[in-house]
Amino acid sequence: MHDATTHYLHCGRDSEAYGGLINTPVFRGSTVLAKDFSSWEASKKDGNPYAHYGRFGTPTTRAFEDAIAELEGGHSSLVFPSGLAACVHALLAFVSAGDHVLITDNIYGPTRAFVSTVLTRLGVAVEFFVPSAGANIARQLRANTRVVFTESPGSLTFEVCDLPAICQAAHSVGAFVLLDNTWASPLYFKPFEHGVDVSIQAATKYIVGHSDALLGVATANERAWPLLKAGAHDFGQTASPDDLFLALRGLRTLPVRLQRHWSNGVELASSLAHHPLITRVMHPALPGDPGHDLWKRDFLGASGLFGIEVNTQDPVVLARLFDNLKLFGIGLSWGGFESLVVPVGQPQRNHCTPAQGYLIRVHAGLEHINDLQHDFHRALDIALNKPCVAVA
């Protein structure tokens, strides 16, 4: 097996099939003509009379899906128009009225909103579990628990789940384990080696990598694949060939980019931990972080996304901090080449009460680490109203 960097460059590509072109081109199309009557009849597969149609993908779609299935280590993948669409349609593919689902308490906010409103309205019982549950999740499992949906490290507070323990408990009642694997990407966490049944990527983030397209992808093992596939197709989910092309292009450089995001994130997070305005840094790759041991055991690296908590909710101080950051834009999403911050405040939780301060999500981009550290510390000092060091 090649090194991951080499693998990412070569998987899901077939230059010979496309006139020698290195990148699979953008294939557009709705109608796919049958050669004759007998091939039309032969194309009726799995009880589906319309298996050949643009909605089921083009060669651009399949190049991306094949690459992701291989990199995640799963059976097959399906694309969706956004990461959120991948999360919610993967969930819908498995549940029926009367089922029970368990959701980690640090789940991505819009996924939390979906399960709390739509799933509940459809008659599915939704219950949250603490990210530290591990094998204790058994206490919340019921005979009708159909799905355990996790995200590790979770959104905004970055607690790590003990996935092998959760998967073992969930499988003992026949439940499927779905993981939002966006933070680590397929590069730094191997979901299927840890027992997960479906792994979801907001490809919008590190896979696209340049903040210029929205895309989601879900990958299933053999057991979960028929349900995932049928569920997504029944909802008519597709993704644009242009966005798939951008995602395939982004994929090639993902290992090179992530190495830099990883080191920038760890260095920036460690240096911020010592600033007097900051009470907590949430980054599982930092020694002493509550998730550090699990991260070390199960992950192969870290992304550039982490959380910090400042010791005040004073809007004047917060405005001084955010408005003096020059390299960190204020904006949603992450995984592009640029550094970002999101002013969060108090994240919504069912179990743990977040601390007294104000949470900020930080994405360390690909800029030089010295510039990032200088920019952040300067803004923190100004926020504290300390005399500012002259900037060269």
Ligand X SMILES: *Cc1c(COP(=O)(O)O)cnc(C)c1O
Look up 205 and say whether it is catalytic: yes
Given the residues 28, 44, 45, 55, select the one marked as catalytic: 55
Please identify which residue in 61, 155, 199, 303 interacts with ligand X, judged by CB under 6 A: 155
Look up 55 and say whether it is catalytic: yes
> Can you read off the two tokens belonging to residue 222?
């053999």
Binding mask 342-381 for ligand X (x = CB under 6 A): ----------------------------------------
Q: 200 to 229, contacts with ligand X by CB under 6 A?
A: 202, 204-205, 214, 216
- The whole-angstrom separation of Cα 178 and Cα 224 is 10
Look up 289 and say whether it is catalytic: no
Q: Is 151 in the site for ligand X (CB under 6 A)?
A: yes
CA dihedral 74, 76, 79, 80 (to 10 degrees): -80
Q: Taking each helix axis as running N to C, give the angle between helix 59-72 and helix 241-272, from 0 to 180 degrees, rounded to the nearest 10.
A: 30
- The whole-angstrom separation of Cα 382 and Cα 118 is 44
The residue range among 82-90, 165-173, 228-236, 375-383 that interacts with ligand X, by the rule CB under 6 A, is 82-90
- The whole-angstrom separation of Cα 109 and Cα 156 is 9
Contacting residues for 4 by C-beta, under 8 A, at least 6 apart: 187, 255
Please identify which residue in 99, 105, 159, 180 interacts with ligand X, judged by CB under 6 A: 180
Q: Is 84 in the site for ligand X (CB under 6 A)?
A: yes
Q: Is 156 in the site for ligand X (CB under 6 A)?
A: no
User: Among 263, 347, 267, 352, which residue's Cα sits nearest to residue 309?
Assistant: 347
**Count of residues of this chain found to bind ligand X when the rule CB under 6 A is applied:** 15
- The whole-angstrom separation of Cα 159 and Cα 282 is 8
Q: What is the residue-wise DSSP string for 164-206?
A: HHHHHHHHHTT-EEEEE-TTTHHHH--GGGGT-SEEEEETTTT
CB of 87 or CB of 380, closer to ligand X: 87
CB of 79 or CB of 277, closer to ligand X: 79
CB of 277 or CB of 341, closer to ligand X: 341
- Which residues are catalytic, by number? 55, 108, 180, 205
**Chain positions contacting ligand X, by CB under 6 A:** 82-84, 87, 108, 151, 155, 180, 182, 202, 204-205, 214, 216, 333
